[in-house]
A and B are shown apart, each in its own frame.
Chain A
Amino acid sequence: MHITSDLLHRLNNNEPAAHADLFKAVFADLTVFVYRMIDNEDESEDIAISAITRLLGKKLTFNAIEQLKAYLYISARNGALNYLRAAQKEDPFRRQLQDDLPIAEDPGINKKYEMDHLRKLIEAGLGKLEKQCAAVIRLTMQNMQPDEIAKTLNISPNQVYTQKSKGISRLREFIEQNGGKYGIPVVIILLMILCKLYFS
């Protein structure tokens, strides 16, 4: 969820365009987060949408980006837990919460990434794969079943399996090696700001 302080400022001023920008900044992240808990695409979208739209009518001032993120997290998580309770399912994050999560930002232990970062990593990693392998992975990401993929690409189901597992392991390797790299834009922006300050 990338929320800039400029966006926050415009939201606090109740600018209509800011709501659209907020929605676009967080919709996919929130929906995937809910989806990982409840495993239902439509419901996940609904929960994420209602978390965001609940803000629209209200004139609430968030004094920090963290507060807005807290609001979104709590709304989405609560929506998901309510859904799970009604469906009498367990919270898949419960065990993870009980174990002590390593909060230390040590990249050696921590191989977790935010969704948009992962997406960029995978996009970059796909470029390094052979054509057929990348195609299998892309279709898998579109939620296609192996036999459909086999038909579409005109290859045998067996080939789909081998290409898929090869692709996944190559992508993992790629993420492991390059996990830190795609955070670079932030560094560049900071450098640019520094340069601007220094030379102006």
Chain B
Amino acid sequence: MKALSENITQLAFGKSDDVPLTSEEQKICEEWTSGKASELMKVDAADPRLLEFVGLYDKLENKKQEVWESIEATHSLTQSAQQEIPVMQLPTARIGKRTWMLAAAVLTGSIVGVYALYQFINNDKNSVIPAQSMPVAQRSIEPGRIRAVLTLADNSQIDLDTLPTGIVAYQDQMEITKQQDNQLVYKVADNHKTGTREGNNSLTTPYGGEYKVTLADGSMVWLNAGSSLKYPAAFTGTDRVVEITGEGYFEVAEDKTKPFHVMANGTEVKVLGTHFNVKAYEADKQVTTTLVSGSVAIQHGTLASNIKPNQQAIVTGDNIAISNRSKNEMAQVLAWKNGLINLEGESVTTILQQIKRWYNVDTQIEAGTPETTSILTGTVERSQPLPKVLELLNTNLSVRFTLQGYTVVAKAKK
């Protein structure tokens, strides 16, 4: 096995560090780590195109000096405009390192200082005003993070939050691993270890949690906060059937012989291989399917319809409503998957629901609050602390959001 360091893969794919790799990209990495890459780089002496390749190689070897000179010329043109002179940086390499350490020391010092001050002020507050939440155990309000509980076929539960990375369990000849980037992956066990047979697994995210799982067929599901996905450890039958409550984004691996079904609150979404989002929180009393690519069929009781990319199907009661979504609206639907809270076009209720699920707080809407805020646009990063999000929300004209204890209260602005 060959090792790969993360910053190298991110640079190779031209991605910033926090963007996870797609399945295609992971496959390429596996080609390298499995050692198959160096075989692919070699050419078979019996290859019918051997002469063509060697001829091209020869030609390239002969012109590489020339090509490099032209690259250097264009590169120095663009580089000198944006960077300091590299010559200056060379001799300062060691000093540079020291400045870094100094900066780090100053930074650590100031963080400790600020934290101490913060603690001090907080303690002070607590002693002056006997907080009403005194009897309740202190719990700070934090944004959600990657965490979930896995329930195996025998109903045993595994908290993935505290579990170290590595093999989690064997189920139905599948090996379940928790990867370094905190996602769960099902794949056929190499040595066919027999774990418990058959039966469903389920992955549940609490409020303030999210998780990603790669199922036995290679399909990937991102699970939003307060959601649960039930699925067989291995897809052995003629169909692939999973069940969701809450919200999930699906990237279904194509397999025309085995249709993929998502069951959500009595609504069935049937696909062959596509990318789509399903939102089926019980509190919403509706199931919203938004299609990114491919095609899916929605069925609810006797009703059925197909939707195309950039369309949304909302099942409420016994009715399926289909509407087109603009590029902007699509981004809003998928905001959560990209680590954002969407504000644009959301009602006060839906904004509060997003906050409730992600920050694990209670919410309350006072009588007389308008249904929609007047004018909120854009998105907020989910990693932001709650007060910051509320501050941003309060830039709207009609509704004030305040945090009282562990409850976010919305009321009309006067």
> Are A and B interaction partners?
yes
- Segment from B55-63, B222-230, B289-297, B334-342 that makes contact with A: B55-63
In the complex, chain B residues 4-58 whose Cβ is within 8 Å of any chain A Cβ: 4-5, 7-9, 11-14, 24-25, 28-29, 31-32, 35-37, 39-46, 49-58
Pairwise interchain contact A35-B56, C-beta atoms closer than 8 A: yes
Q: Flag A10-49 by CB within 8 Å of B: 1 or 0 each.
A: 0001111000100110011101110110000100010001
Pairwise interchain contact A73-B41, C-beta atoms closer than 8 A: yes
Docked Cα-Cα span, A145 to B43, in Å, equals: 23
Asked if A185 is at the interface of the complex by the 8 Å CB criterion, the answer is no
Asked if B73 is at the interface of the complex by the 8 Å CB criterion, the answer is no
Docked Cα-Cα span, A59 to B122, in Å, equals: 43
Asked if A190 is at the interface of the complex by the 8 Å CB criterion, the answer is no
In the complex, chain A residues 113-161 whose Cβ is within 8 Å of any chain B Cβ: 113-116, 118-119, 122, 137, 140-143
Docked Cα-Cα span, A175 to B68, in Å, equals: 32
In the complex, chain A residues 78-124 whose Cβ is within 8 Å of any chain B Cβ: 78, 81, 93, 96-97, 101, 103, 111-116, 118-119, 122
A107 CB to nearest B CB, Å: 11
A145 CB to nearest B CB, Å: 12
Pairwise interchain contact A103-B8, C-beta atoms closer than 8 A: no
Pairwise interchain contact A27-B40, C-beta atoms closer than 8 A: no
A143 CB to nearest B CB, Å: 6
Pairwise interchain contact B32-A74, C-beta atoms closer than 8 A: yes
User: Given contacts A60-B8, A93-B40, A103-B35, are A77 and B53 in contact (CB under 8 A)?
Assistant: no
Asked if B72 is at the interface of the complex by the 8 Å CB criterion, the answer is yes
Pairwise interchain contact A175-B45, C-beta atoms closer than 8 A: yes
Pairwise interchain contact A101-B36, C-beta atoms closer than 8 A: yes
User: Given contacts A96-B40, A141-B58, A179-B45, are A115 and B68 in contact (CB under 8 A)?
Assistant: no
Look across to chain A and name the residue whose beta carbon is closest to the beta carbon of B65. A24
Docked Cα-Cα span, A181 to B67, in Å, equals: 32
User: Given contacts A78-B28, A141-B58, are A172 and B53 in contact (CB under 8 A)?
Assistant: no
User: Given contacts A27-B60, A140-B55, are A70 and B28 in contact (CB under 8 A)?
Assistant: no
User: Given contacts A27-B60, A77-B28, A81-B24, are A118 and B68 in contact (CB under 8 A)?
Assistant: no
Looking at the complex, which one of A32, A33, A70 makes contact with B2 (CB distance below 8 Å)?
A: A70
Docked Cα-Cα span, A137 to B31, in Å, equals: 34
Docked Cα-Cα span, A168 to B75, in Å, equals: 42
Q: Which residues of B contact A63 (CB under 8 A)?
A: 5
Pairwise interchain contact A119-B57, C-beta atoms closer than 8 A: yes
Pairwise interchain contact A73-B32, C-beta atoms closer than 8 A: yes
Pairwise interchain contact A111-B44, C-beta atoms closer than 8 A: yes
Q: Which residues of A contact B5 (CB under 8 A)?
A: 63, 67
Looking at the complex, which one of A28, A58, A74 makes contact with B60 (CB distance below 8 Å)?
A: A28
Pairwise interchain contact A112-B42, C-beta atoms closer than 8 A: yes
Q: Flag B87-121 by CB within 8 Å of A: 1 or 0 each.
A: 00110010000000000000000000000000000
Pairwise interchain contact A74-B42, C-beta atoms closer than 8 A: no
Docked Cα-Cα span, A33 to B43, in Å, equals: 9
Look across to chain B and name the residue whose beta carbon is closest to the beta carbon of A75. B12
Q: How many interface residues does A have (CB within 8 Å)? A: 63
User: Given contacts A32-B60, A74-B32, A122-B54, are A101 and B93 in contact (CB under 8 A)?
Assistant: no
A192 CB to nearest B CB, Å: 26
Q: How many interface residues does B have (CB within 8 Å)? A: 54
Asked if B71 is at the interface of the complex by the 8 Å CB criterion, the answer is yes
Looking at the complex, which one of B31, B49, B89 makes contact with A77 (CB distance below 8 Å)?
A: B31
Asked if B79 is at the interface of the complex by the 8 Å CB criterion, the answer is yes
In the complex, chain A residues 146-195 whose Cβ is within 8 Å of any chain B Cβ: 168, 172, 175-176, 179
Docked Cα-Cα span, A42 to B7, in Å, equals: 29
Pairwise interchain contact B53-A115, C-beta atoms closer than 8 A: yes
Pairwise interchain contact B36-A103, C-beta atoms closer than 8 A: yes
Pairwise interchain contact B55-A143, C-beta atoms closer than 8 A: yes
Docked Cα-Cα span, A172 to B4, in Å, equals: 36
B7 CB to nearest A CB, Å: 7
Asked if A196 is at the interface of the complex by the 8 Å CB criterion, the answer is no
Looking at the complex, which one of A20, A73, A140, A172 makes contact with B72 (CB distance below 8 Å)?
A: A20
In the complex, chain B residues 303-362 whose Cβ is within 8 Å of any chain A Cβ: none
Further contacts, 13 of them, CB under 8 A, given A73-B41, A122-B54: A14-B90, A14-B93, A23-B68, A28-B64, A31-B60, A67-B8, A74-B29, A78-B13, A93-B40, A97-B40, A101-B39, A118-B50, A137-B51
Task: Please give the residue numbers on chain A whose beta carbons come within 8 Å of chain B beta carbons, in ascending order.
Answer: 1, 13-16, 20, 23-24, 27-29, 31-33, 35-36, 41, 45, 49, 51, 53-58, 60, 62-63, 66-67, 70-71, 73-75, 77-78, 81, 93, 96-97, 101, 103, 111-116, 118-119, 122, 137, 140-143, 168, 172, 175-176, 179
A-B contact pairs, 7 of them (CB 8 A): A35-B53, A45-B60, A66-B3, A93-B40, A122-B54, A143-B52, A143-B56
Sorted nearest first, the 8 A-B pairs with minimum C-beta distance are A141-B55, A112-B42, A28-B60, A74-B12, A75-B12, A175-B45, A111-B45, A71-B8
